[in-house]
Each structure stands twice: as structure tokens, then as C-alpha cells.
Chain A
Amino acid sequence: MIFISVSTVSEFLCFLVALLCLYKDKAVAWKLFIPFLLLTCVVELIGIYVREFVHIPNYAIYNFYILFECVFTSYFFFYLYKAYQYKLKWLLIWVTLFAVMYIAELLYNNFGNFVSITASVMSVVFVLASLYFYYIKLKDEHFEPLVFSAPFWWVSGTLFFYFGSTVCNNFSKYLAMYEIIAYKYSVRYLIFNLLNIIMYIFWSYAFICRYRQRKSSPLLG
């Protein structure tokens, strides 16, 4: 029962929706959500197992997971921008910058803590990427029914998650030290539960939109 939490359930349900809606999709970027969400579920379960049964901090698992999170999310943003003549060099510059920050922070922490600064910077970059997507959509003269647009809802879910987590990320060390003393429940845990629910609902809806789009336009798969 300990493995069943708001986060694990929402992640698993989103994975199921992705599996059902995207397994026949022709676009690799969309199809990659299936292994990515599967990895997320597995990492979450391992994280709980290590914390509850091995009784050691689980930051190493999340340090490993953040690599996939960053690369996949960045690649997907690039996939969305590609239609608007976005250059590959920006993706490569960002991934290189992320790698440098990640390694530097790992070394600085002596591999003994979560790479929270890198995670914070990554959140800010993803927030900017989401805002840039809205900017492109506002500027685009061509009308697209956004209510049924899969990329729009995926970006919206991503924006909610990374924007909402900015405060928690910035105060992560403070919260880790004092929140259990001050409150019975972890504020960080509650906020991340809420953010996960919002993000995975938006993503699931995006996958459904993508499925509908694929059904109405056979070229997509």
C-alpha cells in the first residue's frame, strides 16, 4: 500500500492513457512518451522502495531521472518549435549548459545531494520555453482550434508544473530542514502532489487530443 500515492497513481494513469492513445502514433516524439512515463513510474516506485525499505536517501535515483526528464522535455519542446524554423543549435547549447551545470553541482555536492540548483534552472528554462510556445501561437496568423490542440495542452501542463514548483525548488533546502518540525505534513509533498495531478491531467488530455487528431488525419499514424 505504501507504493500507492497521489503521484504514483496519477503517473500510472497518465502512462496508461499514453499507451492507449500513442502506441500507434507515427511521430517518434509523441511515441517516446510511453517509455518516458514508464520510466517515471519505475523511478517513483524505486524511490519509495529505497526510502521506505532500504532506509537510505533516494536523491541519487532522482539525480539520474532528471537527466532523462531534461533531455526528453527539451527534445519535445524542440519538436514543437521545429515547425516554426527553430534551430537545432539552441537545443544543443541548452543541453550542453545543462550537462555542465549538472556535473558541476554533483561534484560540488560530492554526489551527496539532489542537484536542486540545476533542477531550478531547468524549471525556469521550461517555463520560458512554454511561454515562448504561447508567444508563437499568439503571433501565428493561422487559426488552430487550441481547445483540441495536443501540443497546447501538453505545454500548459508543463507550464503549470514547472512554474508552480519554482517556489518549492528555490526553498527546497529550507523546506527540507524545517517543514516537518513546523507541520505534520510536508508542504513540498502536498504542493508536488497538486502539481502532479494538474500536469498529468493536462498531459492525458493532450494525448487524447493527439489520438483524436490521428484518427481524423490518417497521415499522423
Chain B
Amino acid sequence: MQISSKEIISLIGLTSIIFLIAPTFLIVYVLSYNRRKKKHQEETMLMQKNYETELLKTQMEVQEQTLKTVAYDLHDNIGQLLSLTTITLSSINLNDSENTAGKIALIEDLTLRSIKEVKALSRLLHGEEIVSRGLKAAIEFELEWLKRSDKFRIIFDHNVTVYNIDSAKETILFRLFQEIINNIIQHAKATEININLQTITDSLRLTISDDGIGFNVDEILNRKAGMGLHNIMKRSAMINGTASIISTPLKGATITINVPYK
């Protein structure tokens, strides 16, 4: 069968039209891909904004925690010391010189202890400074206060080599530590708290375990009461980390947070 020149020319014309359809689709594709890129950029910006908001919230929580500690300390330690000083002062009988010397010595001791407490409080009030000294130092400082209560046996192990972690990440990690410790104080009825901080292949691992009453992790996570645990997981994920919560009723709990620092 012979094809006429008319048919060939029609075919050339048709092919040219088809050749125009291809760029049209290509342009539409590039434009729609670009729109998706814009959406992705907006989502990234929103995530960044959320991260910044969460960071601010965390910083405020760290400060709030510091103020709470200050309030408790003022009431329980310094307040008691000063009350005792006042009582001792009022009980001094100037005619009883034998007892007076002993009482003055006691007042001196009480005053010195009060000064020491006030100095420690002053250090604590610089909450942000605590974190800037490094996570290990901040944890040690926080545990110092906890040890005073004598309610818990606290063991802090650390194997931290030199690492370079974003200060925002460190603040969030420190707040996570505070939150977990608060949960233990309030709910765990524990007698011993073990804290382990170590650097393992480009990541920082914080493990906190207690010998308290424990809990059913799934049950707590499904309940509204599990907001604290959800918060721990959410904040860990925010700093590209992971949080593992292991607990069995009556057998204590272990929370491990892994955060990459590279």
C-alpha cells in the first residue's frame, strides 16, 4: 500500500500538534511540583515555629521549676532555720551566762547555715545558667537539691565525652529530666533513683530508673493522665530523639531518652 504525500503531510502536521502537547504537560507538571514544594516549605516553617514555641515553653517550665524549688526551700529550710534562730534568740536569758554562750553559738551556726542556703538559692535562681554549664552539671545541680530531702537514694552515673549539642536540644533534654524526676517524686513512691547519662556513637543517652510502684505503660498512655508521658515522647521526637518507657506495676520504671547530637 502506497501512502500519498497528502497523508504524509497530514501526519507531519498531526505529529507537530502532538509535539505541542508534551511541553504543555511538562509545564503543568513542573508547576504542580513547585506548588507541592511551596506546601512542603510552609510545613517546614510551621514545624520550625512549633519547635520554637515548644522551646520557649520548655524554658519557661525550667524557670517555673526553679521558682518552685526556691519556694519550697524558703519554706522548708531557710524559714525553719530563721524560726529556730528567733526562738533561740527569744529564749536567751542574759542572767544565765552559762546557757547564753551555748545558745549564741547555736544562733551563729543557724545563721551560717541560713547564709549558705541563701547562697545556694541565689545560684539556683540563675536557672538558664545551669543549663548553659552543660547537661551533666545541670543534672548534678538539680540532684543536689533532691538529695537534701533524704527521701531517695540517688545514684548518678555518667560517661560523657566531649560532645557538641545544640543548646536548645540540651534545654529540652534537661526539662525532660526534670519532668521525669517530678513524676517519680509525685507518683512513684520510690526509694531509689538511678540516673545514667552517656554518649554512645554520636548520641546522648539519658536513662532514669526507679524502684517505685511502676505502672502499666499502655494503659497510662491511653488515659488522659498519660499527658506527661505523651509530652516526654513528643518532646523527644522534636529534638530528633526517641523515648522508651518500660514499666511493670510494682517493679519500678525505666525511661530512656536517646538524642543524636550530630
Residues A159 and B19 in contact, CB atoms below 8 Å apart:
no
CB distance from B36 to the nearest CB of A (A): 10
Report whether over half of chain B's contact residues are helix, strand or loop; otherwise say mixed.
helix
Q: Let me know if A191 and B16 touch, CB within 8 A.
A: yes
Known: A146-B31, A156-B27, A168-B16. 19 other contacts (CB 8 A): A138-B33, A143-B34, A143-B37, A143-B38, A145-B38, A147-B31, A156-B23, A163-B19, A163-B23, A166-B19, A167-B12, A167-B15, A167-B19, A182-B9, A183-B6, A187-B12, A187-B13, A190-B13, A194-B20
Q: B26 within 8 Å of A by Cβ?
A: yes
B161 within 8 A of A: no
Inside 8 A of B12's CB, which chain A residues have their CB? Answer: 167-168, 171, 174-175, 187
Instruction: State whether B34 touches A164 (Cβ < 8 A).
Output: no
Q: If the complex has contacts A164-B16, A167-B16, are A159 and B30 also in contact, measured as CB distance less than 8 A? A: no
Q: Assess A175 versus B9: contact at CB under 8 Å? Given A143-B41, A159-B26.
A: yes
A52 / chain B contacts, CB cutoff of 8 Å: none
Q: What CA separation (Å) do A163 and B15 show in the bound complex?
A: 11
Instruction: Kindly report which residue of chain B lies nearest to residue A190, judged by CB atoms.
Output: B13
* Complex Cα–Cα for A156 and B27 (A): 7
Please, which residues of chain A bring their CB within 8 A of the CB of B225?
A: none
| B95 surroundings in chain A (CB, below 8 A) | none
User: Is B5 interfacial (CB 8 A cutoff)?
Assistant: yes
CA gap between A83 and B12 in the complex, in Å: 38
* Alpha-carbon distance between A85 and B31 when the two chains are bound, in angstroms: 24
CB neighbours (8 Å) of A174 from chain B are 8, 12
Contact present for A164 and B9 (CB under 8 Å):
no
A-B contact pairs, 21 of them (CB 8 A): A138-B33, A141-B37, A143-B37, A144-B34, A145-B38, A146-B34, A156-B27, A159-B23, A160-B23, A163-B22, A166-B19, A167-B15, A167-B16, A167-B19, A168-B12, A171-B12, A174-B8, A178-B5, A183-B9, A190-B13, A195-B20
Least CB separation from A127: chain B residue: B23
Once the chains are docked, how many angstroms separate the CA of A166 from the CA of B4? 22
Complex Cα–Cα for A168 and B26 (A): 21
Chain B residues near A141 (CB, 8 Å)? 37
Whether A134 is near chain B, meaning CB under 8 Å from some CB there, is yes
Q: Give the shortest distance, in Å, between A194 (CB) and chain B (any CB).
A: 8
Q: Give the residues in chain B near A163, CB-CB below 8 Å.
A: 19-20, 22-23
CA distance A195 to B23 in the complex (A): 12
- Using Cβ atoms and an 8 Å threshold, which residues of chain A touch B5? 178, 181-182
Closest beta carbon of chain A to B4's beta carbon, Å: 8
Contacts of A198 in B (CB 8 A): 20
State A7–B213 Cα separation when bound (angstroms): 87
- Distance A171 CA – B13 CA, assembled complex (angstroms): 11
Chain A hits for B30, CB < 8 A: 134, 137-138, 146, 152
- Closest A residue, CB atoms, query B10: A187
Within A130-170, which residues are at the interface with B (CB < 8 Å)? Answer: 131, 134, 137-138, 141, 143-147, 152, 156, 159-160, 163-168
B98, chain A: closest CB distance, angstroms = 85
Q: Within the assembled complex, what's the spacing in Å between the Cα atoms of A141 and B37?
A: 8
**A 178-198 binary contact with B (CB < 8 Å = 1; else 0):** 110111000100110011001
| Cα-based distance from A146 to B35 in the complex (angstroms) | 9
The 8 closest A-B pairs by CB, nearest first: A178-B5, A182-B6, A167-B16, A167-B15, A143-B41, A146-B34, A187-B13, A164-B20
